[in-house]
Chain A
Amino acid sequence: MFDIRRAENGTVMLSGRLDASQAEKARGILATITESCAIDFTDLDYISSLGLGVLLEAQKRLNESGQGLTLTNLNDHLADLFRLAGFDILFEIQ
């Protein structure tokens, strides 16, 4: 089960597992973002390469207008995966 929603403060909240079958759902929400915002990974258990690609796609688009995504509250396993993918130099990670 995967869910993505925007909190009242604009933060994007992810939960569950972002696998290939859920990537379009994530892409649809991220495509609506036009200004810098945080993405909260507290409740995300898993992400695969397609999910990573959706994040990279959004970051590339936002960076073109001087905006960007900040990734917050990644667990150790996800943080290591992001580092393997080289995302630690593409995103601000808190």
Chain B
Amino acid sequence: MEKDFERTIEALNEIFPLVDGFLSEHDIGDDDALAIRLAVEELFTNLVRHNSGGRDRISLALEKEEDRLIIRLTDFDVDEFDPSKIAIPKVKRPISERKVGGLGVYLVRKLFDELHYEYENRTLSVTATRDIGRKDVRHPAS
């Protein structure tokens, strides 16, 4: 599945039905489905927020290769944005020390096996890969 979407948060209302159709078509279960929906939203909304000056639409591709699920987002004609520089939230700290926000990329890194960013010729590509059937959502690592 590959399609491009308007650079708005509201585009999620168009994205989710397509993602759901892909998950159903490939008979992907609930554990993986939650992780995939979450990663699509977090990565897409990151591009919308951090490259708000961009004018082109954002491309989303979902592929299933044997037992691997690949999410690829491509953002055109944008300034470089390196999500790896986003501060890692301190999830074991008491509430007085917790900050609101910053959880999105952290959760994607926890739920996916690989997360890569590439930037070339003002084009940013984000690729997340997950082994289908991982049980980390049900039994998350500490």
Q: Which residues of A contact B (CB under 8 A)?
A: 17, 19-21, 46, 48-50, 52-53, 56-57, 59-60, 63, 76-78, 80-81, 83-86, 89-90
Contact = CB atoms under 8 A, between A and B. Distances in A.
A63 B9 contact: no
A13 to B, nearest CB: 21
Main secondary structure of the interface of B (DSSP, over half): helix
B45 A50 contact: yes
Interface string B87-112: 00101111110101101100100110
A56 B12 contact: no
Contacts of B45: 20, 48, 50
Given A20-B41, A21-B9, A85 B107 contact: yes
B4 interface: no
A63 B94 CA distance: 12
A17 B100 contact: no
Top 4 closest pairs, chain A to chain B, by CB: A86-B91, A49-B104, A49-B103, A77-B34
B109 to A, nearest CB: 10
Nearest to A90: B95
A78 to B, nearest CB: 8
Contacts of A89: 92, 94
Interface in B67-120: 89, 91-96, 98, 100-101, 103-104, 107, 110-111
Nearest to B44: A20
Interface of B: 9-10, 12-13, 16, 30-31, 34, 37-38, 41-42, 45, 89, 91-96, 98, 100-101, 103-104, 107, 110-111, 137-140
Contacts of A90: 94-95, 98
B95 to A, nearest CB: 5
30 contacts: A19-B12, A19-B16, A20-B9, A20-B41, A21-B10, A21-B12, A46-B38, A48-B38, A48-B45, A48-B104, A49-B38, A49-B42, A49-B104, A53-B101, A53-B103, A56-B95, A56-B98, A59-B95, A77-B34, A77-B137, A77-B138, A80-B137, A80-B139, A81-B34, A83-B140, A84-B137, A85-B103, A90-B94, A90-B95, A90-B98
A89 B95 CA distance: 8
